[in-house]
Structure formats: structure tokens, C-alpha cells
Amino acid sequence: MGNLCVCMGGSAKCASASTPFQSKVNPRSSTSNSNSKASRRSSSGPEKPPQPAEAPTAAGEAQAVPPASLKSFSMADLRAATKNFGSTSYLGEGGFGCVYKGWIDETTLAPARPGATNAMMVAIKKLKKESFQGHREWLTEVTYLGDLHHENLVKLVGYCSDSDSNKLLVYEYMPRGSLENHLFRRGSQPPLPWSTRVSVAVDVARGLAFLHSRDVIFRDLKSSNVLLGPDHRAKLSDFGLARAGPTGGKTHVSTRVVGTRGYAAPEYVATGHLSAKSDVYGFGVVLLELMTGRRALDEARGVASELLVDWAMPMLQGERRKVIRVMDTRLGGQYPKRQAQDMAALALRCLQNDPKTRPSMADDVLPSLELLLQPTTAKSTSSSSTTTSSRSPAASATTPVHRGHRRQKA
Ligand SMILES: Nc1ncnc2c1ncn2[C@@H]1O[C@H](COP(=O)(O)OP(=O)(O)OP(=O)(O)O)[C@@H](O)[C@H]1O
Ligand SMILES: [Mg+2]
């Protein structure tokens, strides 16, 4: 679930769901748009997902009916499935609560013994009870994920909402965990190879393109919300901040500002104007993370370059791009130089200051990335890699990126 990390200053994660985006710790975080009005967009056809309100009231929440396709679990079911939410079932914790692994029968969805025939593993997210906004995100997640199905979106199996205010979500289990862990956790596990990073980027682009085709803005794209399956196929998770895109020819919706510092688009932080192009900016940041192995926000890098965008941009722009200098050293040079240049050029376009000039996910970003998946017989420019690629349209993107954005949001 989105960490509701409205904190653009300080930590990229915040446990407090009620912290306004612009007021958290860092005095450089000043935005002017905390009072955007809640809006409800009515569904305009059977293809559209239900559109939850920006801020459902208690009454609205009571009226919301989760899709029938989702299983309604009791708390007793989920206790049984997770060994009473014991430490051996613990998977991790995000802004809104802990995640546990559990076992349920794949046919009846009843709690099952670990390893039993027909038992399947699930991930169960248990929201902290005290968070009203957590409840709002829970509702948004159930509403969207109950309706939207795609191979690059994590599958929601069911939910629990009981009279005791327990709110839980039951997802398919993603055995390789988050992209964030793979890119940044310095452990014994080998670094993700370049080819896997490219295919993860393609999967994420496919997930976003699908959402945008359904007029849904994800709003919380970041590497911790990209989960990996057994074969490293990637899926988007955490739809708590998702919302309906603009209608009637409008370019954006006005919202309160939520998201995660380091990933949020500058115009959104500055004005609360949200569009699909806000997701495109976040995607550009994830591309940089895949290339560099560096976090979107790392205060240890010092104020001037704590944001990955600020650190990487000077080396990626202009005639004399120095893509090699930003690349993850854990790759050991094992990547086609041309592919790295293409991905850098695409990231730059996604990170344009003006949202109108950012590429669209479906028409531009996805085809550009898919070209990187296709090996060709052309000779690679890399001295260290054997893989080659065709030249993608991304490589010809030379539009300069304006860098004045960070000052206003951070
Ligand atoms: N479906 C899943 N399958 C396997 N592990 C999961 C699943 N969902 C979440 N996890 C793991 O649980 C941990 C917490 O996830 P969670 O989404 O709550 O937090 P987060 O993404 O780190 O932060 P945020 O609150 O900002 O979303 C992560 O380590 C994640 O890898
Ligand atoms: Mg998450």
C-alpha cells in the first residue's frame, strides 16, 4: 500500500498517515497546495473501474461495496492462515502496516496448512488500526484492484473488514519481493543483471500503460511498489493512492499532494495538478534507479545531490553525455553501452519539467523500451558486453531537461 508518504522532506517513508506532504521536517519542502478539493469522478461506461472519492467520508466508506470477485475473509481465517500473524510469517513493513505470508487453499480460499496439497501462499497486509487515511487507502486499493486485472498488476485475492475495524488485504505472493530490495539491499544476493533490469522496466511500463488506458493514475510509482515474481516478472503493487484521471478534455485533476519524495513530479508537488504524466515522471526516476543502483532519495549524498534526478542529470544531458559515469558499478560493465544510452535518453524525456513534453507510456515509452528487448545482430558499442540491441527512438531524444523543478518542491 502506498505509504501515504506525503512527506516530501526527510525520509521517503512516513508512518504517519496524516502528515501533510509539504510540512514534514525539511524546511525546503514548501508547496502551496494542501487544500485541493476532494473530487469524485463518475464512471463513464462499463469499461471504467469504479472511481473512489479522493476523500471518502465515513458514510461513503460504509456504502462502498467491494467487488464480488474478491473473497471476503474473516479475521479468524487470516489468523489461521498466518499462524496468528506470528514472527515466522512476517515479511516486512510499510507505511501502513505489516505484511505477513499466509497459506490458503487455492480452490476454496480457506486457510490451509503450509505446504499442504492445493495450498497457495499469499501476502497479507494488515493495516494499522489507528490510521483513518490508511482506511481510505484500503478502500481505494480494494476498489481499483478488485476491478483492474493485468499481468503487470499484483493480484488482489481478497480483503477483510470487520466490525472491530480490522482492515486487511490479501494479495498473490510475490516470492522475489520488491525491486527496491534487489537494487539497494547490499547483501549476499547477486545484483540484478542488466537484461533483467530492462525487462522489469518493460513490465512496469506495461502496467502503467494499462492503467492510463483505463484513465487511472497510479500516483505512487517507486521501486518498493514494484514486486517481482519467481521469474523476475514485475508487477505494480499498492493502489492506495491511485485515482481517476481528468475527463472532459481537462489536462489534469487537482488533488491534495501525496506521494513519495524523490519520485513525485515537480508540477504536481508545486500545484497539486495531477495527470498521467505525473506517473511518467516517476517512471523516469525508476529508470534512473535501474541504471544507477542508487535510491531516488539518499540524504547521505548531501543536499545538492540527495535527489537522484539532481545527481544524475548533469551527467546525462548535453552533447557529451557521460552515461557510463552514472551506471551501477555492481553491473561490472556488463551491459550494452548503446542500451544504457537509450535508456538514459528515455529517462531524460520522462523527466522533462513540462508534463506536456513527457512521452506517453503506451505510445512512446513502452515501444521504446520494447525495442531494447529485441536482440539484433548489430555490433554493440560496449566493450564489455556480448548483448546487442537495435537503436531505439529514445536514443534520438535530445530535448533538454529543465532542472529548476527541485527547488520548489524540496
Ligand atoms: N504481494 C507481496 N508478496 C511478497 N511480499 C510482499 C508483497 N507485498 C508486500 N510485500 C513485502 O512486504 C514489505 C512491505 O511492503 P509494503 O508495500 O507494505 O511497504 P513498502 O512498499 O516498502 O512501503 P510503502 O508503505 O511506501 O508502500 C516489502 O518488503 C515487500 O517486499
Ligand atoms: Mg508498497
What are the tens digits of pLDDT across the range 183-235?
998 777 889 999 999 999 999 999 999 999 999 999 999 999 999 999 999 99
Assess whether 204 and 344 both reside in one domain: yes
Q: Tell me which DSSP letter residue 336 carries.
A: -
Residues 140-170: tens digit of each pLDDT: 999 999 999 999 999 999 999 988 889 999 9
Mean local confidence (pLDDT), 9-17: 33
More confident residue, 172 or 43: 172
Inter-CA distances, 313 with 321, 323, 359, 403, Å: 10, 10, 18, 8
Give the chain's domain count: 2
Please give the distance, rounded to the nearest whole angstrom, from the Cα atom of residue 92 to the centre of ligand 1. Answer: 6
Instruction: Provide the pLDDT for residue 197.
Output: 98
Please give the distance, rounded to the nearest whole angstrom, from the Cα atom of residue 397 to the centre of ligand 2. Answer: 32
Q: What residues contact residue 143 under an 8 Å CB cut-off, 6+ apart?
A: 49, 50, 51, 52, 64, 66, 67
CA distance 386 to 401: 32
Instruction: Provide the pLDDT for residue 53.
Output: 41
Please give the distance, rounded to the nearest whole angstrom, from the Cα atom of residue 175 to the centre of ligand 2. Answer: 14
CATH number of the domain enclosing 272: 1.10.510.10
Q: Is the CB of 94 under 6 A from ligand 1?
A: yes
Assess whether 370 and 238 both reside in one domain: yes
> Is 398's pLDDT higher than 90?
no
> Is 386's pLDDT higher than 60?
no
For the CA of 99, the nearest atom of ligand 1: 12
Inter-CA distances, 324 with 24, 161, 344, Å: 35, 50, 10
Query: Please, which pLDDT band fits residue 410 given cuts at 50, 70 and 90?
Result: very low
Residue located nearest, by CA, to atom 23 of ligand 1: 94
Residues 356-365: tens digit of each pLDDT: 999 999 999 9
Please give the distance, rounded to the nearest whole angstrom, from the Cα atom of residue 238 to the centre of ligand 2. Answer: 5
> Is 407's pLDDT higher than 50?
no
Mean local confidence (pLDDT), 122-131: 88
CATH number of the domain enclosing 131: 3.30.200.20
Give the sign of the dihedral formed by CA 58, CA 169, CA 42, CA 18. Answer: positive
Best residue for ligand 1 mutational test, from 178, 235, 236 (most atoms within 8 Å of Cβ) = 178
Q: Answer yes or no: is 73 within a domain.
A: yes
For the CA of 2, the nearest atom of ligand 1: 27
Assess whether 185 and 155 both reside in one domain: no
Q: Answer yes or no: is 20 within a domain.
A: no
Domain limit, last residue, from 144, 172, 200: 172
Instruction: Provide the pLDDT for residue 132.
Output: 63
Residue located nearest, by CA, to atom 21 of ligand 1: 224
> Is 395's pLDDT higher than 90?
no
Please give the distance, rounded to the nearest whole angstrom, from the Cα atom of residue 227 to the centre of ligand 1. Answer: 8
Q: Is the CB of 159 under 6 A from ligand 1?
A: no
Give catalytic residue positions: 220
Q: Answer yes or no: is 18 within a domain.
A: no
CA distance 376 to 390: 6
Residue located nearest, by CA, to atom 22 of ligand 1: 94
Domain limit, last residue, from 112, 141, 172: 172
> Is 278's pLDDT higher than 80?
yes
Instruction: Provide the pLDDT for residue 321.
Output: 79
Instruction: Provide the pLDDT for residue 357.
Output: 97
Assess whether 304 and 360 both reside in one domain: yes
Query: Please, which pLDDT band fits residue 335 given cuts at 50, 70 and 90?
Result: very high
CA distance 59 to 312: 47
Q: Is the CB of 227 under 6 A from ligand 1?
A: yes
Domain limit, last residue, from 172, 201, 223: 172
Assess whether 388 and 259 both reside in one domain: yes
Query: Please, which pLDDT band fits residue 88 given cuts at 50, 70 and 90?
Result: very high
Assess whether 194 and 303 both reside in one domain: yes
Least confident of 40-49, 148-157, 294-303: 40-49
Assess whether 325 and 210 both reside in one domain: yes
Q: What residues contact residue 392 under an 8 Å CB cut-off, 6+ apart?
A: 342, 346, 368, 369, 371, 372
Assess whether 69 and 111 both reside in one domain: yes
Nearest bound ligand to the CA of residue 154: 1
Assess whether 164 and 186 both reside in one domain: no
Range of the domain at 79: 62-172
Q: Answer yes or no: is 37 within a domain.
A: no
For the CA of 97, the nearest atom of ligand 1: 18
For the CA of 154, the nearest atom of ligand 1: 1
Least confident of 33-37, 85-89, 101-105, 357-361: 33-37
Q: Write the DSSP assignment of 44-86 as a string of letters.
A: -STTSPP---SS--HHHHHH----TTSEE--HHHHHHHTTTT-
Mean local confidence (pLDDT), 235-258: 91
Assess whether 80 and 208 both reside in one domain: no
Contact (CB, 8 A) for 279 and 303: no
For the CA of 125, the nearest atom of ligand 1: 18
Mean local confidence (pLDDT), 386-407: 34
Nearest bound ligand to the CA of residue 175: 1
Q: Answer yes or no: is 156 within a domain.
A: yes
Here the cell at position 49 is 473501474
Q: Answer yes or no: is 118 within a domain.
A: yes
Assess whether 120 and 233 both reside in one domain: no
Query: Please, which pLDDT band fits residue 293 given cuts at 50, 70 and 90?
Result: very high
Q: Answer yes or no: is 16 within a domain.
A: no
CA distance 335 to 86: 42
Mean local confidence (pLDDT), 78-85: 97
Query: Please, which pLDDT band fits residue 69 given cuts at 50, 70 and 90?
Result: confident
Assess whether 143 and 212 both reside in one domain: no
Instruction: Provide the pLDDT for residue 96.
Output: 80
Helix (H, G, I), strand (E, B) or coil at 342: helix
Least confident of 33-42, 85-94, 151-160: 33-42
Here the cell at position 285 is 526516476
- Give the residue among 235, 247, 208 at the shortest CA–CA distance from 44: 247
Helix then strand then coil, % of the chain, to nearest 5 = 35, 15, 50
Query: Please, which pLDDT band fits residue 64 given cuts at 50, 70 and 90?
Result: low
Task: Tell me which H or E stretch contains 406.
Answer: helix 405-409
Q: Is the CB of 95 under 6 A from ligand 1?
A: yes
Helix ranges (DSSP H) in 329-377: 337-350, 366-373
